[in-house]
Amino acid sequence: ACERFDLLAPSTATAGDSFRVLVRSLDRFGNVTPTDVNLVLTGAGETISVTMKKQHGGALWLDDISVPEPGVTRLELLRDGEGIAHSNPVMVREDGPDDGEWNIFWGDTQGQTAKTVGAGSVEEYFRYARDVAGIDYCTHQGHDFMLTDEDWQEVTEQTLQFHEPGRFITFLGYEWSPTSGAGGDRNVMYLDDTGPLY
């Protein structure tokens, strides 16, 4: 059963520009849990009604959110007028990043699936990272010696399929796994859509 809510916003934004926010309903262990509930989002310059349905699977993206004024802010989620969740801090700039300034993005460079020592399919991995974890980028890092040519082809195809610039970035990659004496495991990531599996 749903016991709490989570609100995830980008770490950096520009005043007046739209961004996305992820609302998650969680059980007591922190697992996303489908629920039907009406909520309200505040702190974005206006009050926004949020309707979560069980069909959302416990994670709902809200588009076209913006903060009108620069500064550091936190969005708030209300249920029946009571605050139930605050977002992470959002650094809102007056203009886009200048020279020497950076936007902050979050990702995972070490995920594996049932192709090697993890669980689930490559598609499930990317879908969870994008739709539930709410990260900005990731790569599938199966152990090189465990991936077959067919596995590598699937990883390549799924990486390309989920790559969506401006929303979710996927890097083709694998984990190079020599013996510890040779330096231990290394994450290999390609900047192109294809690459060899050594």
- For every one of its 198 residues, what pLDDT tens digit does the chain have, with 9 covering 90 and above? 999 999 999 999 999 999 999 999 999 999 999 999 999 999 988 899 999 999 999 999 999 999 999 999 999 999 999 999 999 999 999 987 676 678 899 999 999 999 999 999 999 999 999 999 999 999 999 999 999 999 999 999 999 999 999 899 999 999 998 876 766 788 999 999 999 998
How many whole angstroms separate alpha carbon 84 and alpha carbon 82? 6
- List C-alpha distances in Å: 5 to 43, 74, 99, 134, 193: 17, 15, 37, 14, 37
For residue 100, what pLDDT is reported?
A: 67
Task: State whether the Cα torsion 7-10-125-63 is positive or negative.
Answer: positive
For residue 45, what pLDDT is reported?
A: 84
Fill in the DSSP letter of residue 131. I
How many whole angstroms separate alpha carbon 33 and alpha carbon 24? 8
Q: Please answer whether residues 156 and 194 qualify as being in contact, where contact means their C-beta atoms are separated by less than 8 angstroms.
A: yes
Helix (H) / strand (E) containing 41: strand 37-42
| Residue the block writes with tokens 């984990």 | 175
- List C-alpha distances in Å: 102 to 13, 37, 44, 96, 99: 11, 37, 22, 9, 8
Query: Residue type for 168, please?
Result: F
Instruction: Determine phi and psi for 17, rounding to 5 degrees.
Output: -85, 145
| Residue 26, beta-bridge partner list | 4, 32
